Amino acid sequence: MDIRTTGGPATAEEMAAVDGLLGQPEPADHRVVHGGHTTRSHRHLLLPVLHAIQDRAGWVSRGALEYACRRLSIPPAEAYGVVSFYARFALQPRAALALHVCDDIACMVAGATPVDGAIRVPCLGLCDRAPAALVERAGADYEARQLAPFDPTGDWLNETPTHQQPQRPQSKLLRRIGLVDPDSIDSYRQNGGFAALERARSMGPQAVIREVTEARLLGRGGAAFPTGRKWQSVADAPVRPHYLVCNADESEPGTFKDRVLMENDPFALVEGMAIAAFATGCDKAFVYVRAEYPLARQRLENAIAQAREHGLLDFEIEVRRGAGAYICGEETALFNSIEGKRGEPRNKPPFPVQVGLFGKPTLPNNVETLVNVLDIVLEGGGAFASTGTKESTGTRLFCVSGQVLHPGLFEVPMGTPLRELIELAGGLRPGRTMAAVLLGGAELRGHSRHRGDARVGRRHRLRRHR
């Protein structure tokens, strides 16, 4: 297939980026025609390839796109439709050093100011340490660093992040945070890690699903769907393979709970995924982590590798990087994104449990949902259901930011009054009076979903429209 765009040839750097991911191209053999299944089987690599180009060159030139299309046998017009859909990919030349400064609500409340030459971006999921920024340096040794709190007048280029989430021993989901070394499987095991997986394996898949159903756990990703019911549907689906997709796209302004879990307790998510895959017969799993979470991604990749080395995983887990599209948090848009397509939601039905990723039965679950499963397996579903309210069991992670004394992540039983949550965050900052509390998704950018987050601010800030 002769595939051409109007761009010049790819540079050696761009080709190296693509070949680094796909391997060296085979010598051309014009007697062999690749198409059909071979072509489709590569399509899902389009986003990883685009990331590789963007990381290496700082933008995606027409030449680089053309080369990627040739290597993946994708028509350029289609690939252009994909690359132009995602905010992360720059289609015009850009400096190797890119500073992304958050201008969303918590950062505005914290006094974020415009910076010359910086790219203004929506919430970076660092609202507890606002104002926030993300710096990327393109090249063979690509690097991305979160900067929060971000001081544009300081030496941010050489800043080393030092923030650590404070330990909260009374909590459940957060109990290992600040206690375990997120880079060490030994540390995780010394703190009870992988006991739930062992127990799940001794119980058997059906008994695990029974406990999750008895726990009446509702999904923590926003739609509050009963987790046990979803797991049972996937387990019962006759078509193979089954896929598990962990949704770590967390892009709702003001929300950072999944980041805190992944950065500080990544093995817990790996363990939760292993239990979910075991119970529902998933052969392969993906974790789709938003592009703006480089540390979470790195820690998860390390946790997966260590768990595999220790023989704890009998299925494959692949970490996929989002590309700056809020809508990809919606599960079917996320599937399209993994498949190398524009992140556009699909019609339902069919539902993902029957026809999901790559058209196969799929279990999509949020990070927090999966981490809850550890305690359900260890304590039993009945014990889990004794916390929270009748309709909504267990504890819940709430992200509190804005004009409170101690912004952060708080775990409280469902049903806790908002006042208590604000008090947990230290109450209002001195000299402030309560004007408004913004719950769930901020409307500033037209998002209107409800999630477990609260922002406390001054009225004129909250009313700001763009």
Ligand X SMILES: Cc1cc2nc3c(=O)[nH]c(=O)nc-3n(C[C@H](O)[C@H](O)[C@H](O)COP(=O)(O)O)c2cc1C
Interacting residues toward ligand FES by CB under 6 A: 102, 104-107, 123-127, 130, 132, 253-254
Least Cβ distance, residue 392 to ligand X (angstroms): 13
Residue 414 burial by CB count (10 A; 0-12/13-18/19+): exposed, middle or buried?
middle
User: Quick one: what does residue 123 bind among ligand X, ligand FES, none, with the CB cut-off 5 to 8 Å set by partner type?
Assistant: ligand FES
> For residue 202, which phi and psi values (nearest 5 degrees)?
-75, -25
User: Quick one: what does residue 449 bind among ligand FES, ligand X, none, with the CB cut-off 5 to 8 Å set by partner type?
Assistant: ligand X
Judged by CB under 6 A, does residue 331 bind ligand X? Answer: yes
CB 265 within 8 A of CB 176: yes
User: Quick one: what does residue 102 bind among ligand X, ligand FES, none, with the CB cut-off 5 to 8 Å set by partner type?
Assistant: ligand FES
Judged by CB under 6 A, does residue 223 bind ligand X? Answer: yes
Judged by CB under 6 A, does residue 411 bind ligand X? Answer: no
Separation of alpha carbons 342 and 262, rounded Å? 26
CB 209 within 8 A of CB 228: yes
Separation of alpha carbons 253 and 447, rounded Å? 9
Would you state the torsion angle of the CA atoms of residues 433, 439, 443, 445, taken in this order, to the nearest 10 degrees?
100
Q: Considering the complex, state which of residue 76 and residue 222 has its C-beta at the smaller distance from ligand X.
A: 222
Q: How many residues bind ligand X (CB under 6 A)?
A: 19
Q: Considering the complex, state which of residue 66 and residue 292 has its C-beta at the smaller distance from ligand X.
A: 292
Judged by CB under 6 A, does residue 351 bind ligand X? Answer: no
Judged by CB under 6 A, does residue 364 bind ligand X? Answer: yes
Q: Considering the complex, state which of residue 429 and residue 450 has its C-beta at the smaller distance from ligand X.
A: 450
Residue 108 CA from chain centroid, whole number: 24
User: Quick one: what does residue 126 bind among ligand X, ligand FES, none, with the CB cut-off 5 to 8 Å set by partner type?
Assistant: ligand FES
Least Cβ distance, residue 401 to ligand FES (angstroms): 7
Which token pair is 8?
Answer: 């010049």
Q: Considering the complex, state which of residue 251 and residue 306 has its C-beta at the smaller distance from ligand X.
A: 251
- Pick the binder of ligand X from 54, 213, 251, 387 (CB under 6 A): 251
Judged by CB under 6 A, does residue 366 bind ligand X? Answer: yes
Separation of alpha carbons 204 and 217, rounded Å? 19
The DSSP string of 31-66 is T----HHHHHHHHTTHHHHHHHHHHHHSS--HHHHH
Q: Give, in order, the Cα–Cα distances in Å from 197 to each of 189, 241, 268, 271, 365.
A: 12, 22, 10, 6, 17
- Pick the binder of ligand X from 228, 253, 281, 329 (CB under 6 A): 329
Tracing tokens 């109007």 back to the chain, one arrives at: 6
For 337-343, the CB contacts below 8 A with 24+ separation are 337/47, 337/288, 338/44, 338/47, 338/245, 338/286, 338/288, 339/43, 339/44, 340/43, 340/44, 340/45, 340/46, 340/47, 340/74, 340/82, 341/43, 341/82, 342/81, 342/82, 342/85, 343/85, 343/86
Judged by CB under 6 A, does residue 453 bind ligand X? Answer: no
Tracing tokens 């060490």 back to the chain, one arrives at: 184
Least Cβ distance, residue 370 to ligand X (angstroms): 7
- Pick the binder of ligand X from 156, 225, 315, 351 (CB under 6 A): 225
User: Quick one: what does residue 220 bind among ligand X, ligand FES, none, with the CB cut-off 5 to 8 Å set by partner type?
Assistant: ligand X
User: Quick one: what does residue 127 bind among ligand FES, ligand X, none, with the CB cut-off 5 to 8 Å set by partner type?
Assistant: ligand FES
Q: Considering the complex, state which of residue 221 and residue 340 has its C-beta at the smaller distance from ligand X.
A: 221
Least Cβ distance, residue 218 to ligand X (angstroms): 8
Which token pair is 409?
Answer: 């992540």
Judged by CB under 6 A, does residue 306 bind ligand X? Answer: no
Q: Considering the complex, state which of residue 247 and residue 401 has its C-beta at the smaller distance from ligand X.
A: 247
Q: Considering the complex, state which of residue 99 and residue 285 has its C-beta at the smaller distance from ligand X.
A: 285
Least Cβ distance, residue 451 to ligand FES (angstroms): 13
CB 89 within 8 A of CB 50: yes
CB 306 within 8 A of CB 228: no
Least Cβ distance, residue 63 to ligand FES (angstroms): 35
Per CB under 6 A, residues contacting ligand X are 219-223, 225, 247, 249-251, 327, 329-331, 364-366, 369, 449
